[in-house]
Amino acid sequence: MAYKYKEVANTLRHQIQTGRYAPGELMPDQNQIAKKFNTTRITVHKALQLLMVEGMVYSKRGSGTYVRKDYVVHNHNDNLGRVSPIDKPFGATKTNEGKTVTSKVLELSARIPTKDEADKLIIQPTEPVYVIRRVRYVDGKIFAYEHTIMPTAITTLTEDILEKSIYSHLEKEGLSIEGTHRIIRADKANQTDVATGIAQELGEPVLIINQLSYLDDGQPFEIAESRFPYQNSRLTADITL
């Protein structure tokens, strides 16, 4: 299905990539963009959210949307700024096809989101979110500790679902996952890492992936932090120039 917000996002992305809007520049407001594309402000909001997830623009409350100052313009490559292969939202189950992936659910609860969570997920401050904590295992060995925030309106979750694959469940519900924006970093192990078996002692190195994932209609559906043991953590990226 061709969504209008993608058409808007593709055009704005191209304009930024080709220098129409320079790094640090304030972009037209959402009403102006909506009028230009003969669409709604909600559609424009989703398009800009997609560019935010890709790390191309940012929003300043009360001021507007700006091109990131650290964004480097390239005039010759229309693929720059898109979600790269390493940022594809493959969960542990799909990443480890052919292996046995299991989960130990530590928490499944619901609460009102924080302001930051509501802003990132584009939901009202009163809309509840799931709080999910689980340890993932691959062939019986600890793979990762995951802490996830997800709007309850997206789907109904149970411990049985969490013991398997959330992404597979979403796909069975007819939801299509479009992409994710990931920040990958290293840190020292904390008390939670030791308690969950991610690390043997405090201060050990751990690999951390923070991500904001979204569906094909532009709706963010997940804020997650995954922590991995350093002994079996490896990232592989295929870069095409």
DSSP type of residue 79: T
Q: Taking 50 as the threshold, does the pLDDT of residue 78 lie above it?
A: no
Average pLDDT over residues 136-149: 93
Calculate the CA 124 to chain-centre distance. Answer: 19
73 is a domain residue: no
CATH of the domain at 158: 3.40.1410.10
Residue 118 parent element (H or E)? helix 115-121
197 and 96 in a common domain? yes
Q: What local confidence, expressed as pLDDT, does residue 219 receive?
A: 78
138 and 51 in a common domain? no
In tens, the pLDDT along 178-234 reads 777 788 899 999 999 999 999 999 999 999 999 988 887 667 899 999 999 988 777
Whole-angstrom Cα distance, residue 231 to residue 50?
34
Q: Which domain holds residue 12?
A: 4-67
Q: Which of 67-71, 75-79, 146-150 has the lowest mean pLDDT?
A: 75-79
DSSP type of residue 26: B
CATH of the domain at 60: 1.10.10.10
Task: Tell me phi and psi for residue 34, to 5 degrees.
Answer: -60, -40
